[in-house]
Amino acid sequence: MDKNYRVNVNEDIELNFTLDNIQNLDVQEISENKYHVLKNHRSFKTEIIDKDILKRQYTVKINGNTYQIDIATELDLLIEEMGLSLGNAQMVNDIKAPMPGLILEVNVKEGDEVKEGDYLLVLEAMKMENTLTAPRDGVVKSISIANGETVEKNQLLIEME
């Protein structure tokens, strides 16, 4: 079985390659990050301008034109097919109690704009204070609890839009 790759160019063009396609290219390294490529009797001068190897994102200059390249491996494609990719993750709208406890402090009110990581409330559970933070940027739609109220595990505390 041949390895497959999906290449996205400038978030506009999608190309699919196999490992054989890539290995059959005629590539000569000129200097560090500069290459000469022959494909279908055509010559291409290429240069890797910037790269993020972990994210498989590259900025490449080919014959004077600059392109943003994103490469997805077979594993990336499988994860995406299964609906597990981070880009397709569901947006968290409901903040629920992670455990039973007592609401000590509510730091937001309905209509407040919050940023990811902002403190929303303090929940006391098992004699420890737990600060719950915003999982994403958003607006507080509703607050279902008040200071001094006891809550059960998985009880809705705050809803975001």
For residues 128 and 77, membership in a common domain is answered with no
For residues 43 and 107, membership in a common domain is answered with no
Phi/psi at 39 (5° precision)? -145, 125
Question: Which residues make beta-bridge pairs with 130?
Answer: 123
Alpha helix ranges (H) inside 26-146: 74-81
Q: What is the CATH number of the domain that holds 131?
A: 2.40.50.100
pTM of the predicted model as reported, rounded to 2 decimal places: 0.49
Choose among 78, 44, 47, 57: nearest CA to 7: 57
For residues 42 and 103, membership in a common domain is answered with no
For residues 72 and 121, membership in a common domain is answered with no
What's the pLDDT score for residue 21? 86
For 119, other C-beta atoms within 10 Å of its C-beta total 13
For residues 81 and 128, membership in a common domain is answered with no
For residues 9 and 76, membership in a common domain is answered with yes
DSSP 86: G
What's the pLDDT score for residue 109? 94
- In tens, the pLDDT along 139-149 reads 999 999 999 99
What's the pLDDT score for residue 83? 65
For residues 82 and 27, membership in a common domain is answered with yes
User: 156 versus 87: which is more confidently predicted?
Assistant: 156
What's the pLDDT score for residue 88? 45
What's the pLDDT score for residue 80? 75
The range of the structural domain enclosing residue 60 comes to 4-88
For residues 19 and 37, membership in a common domain is answered with yes
Asked whether the predicted pLDDT for residue 24 surpasses 60, the reply is yes
Choose among 107, 139, 141, 140: nearest CA to 123: 107
If you count them, how many residues does the chain have? Answer: 161
Tokens of 47: 């240069």
Total number of domains constituting the chain: 2
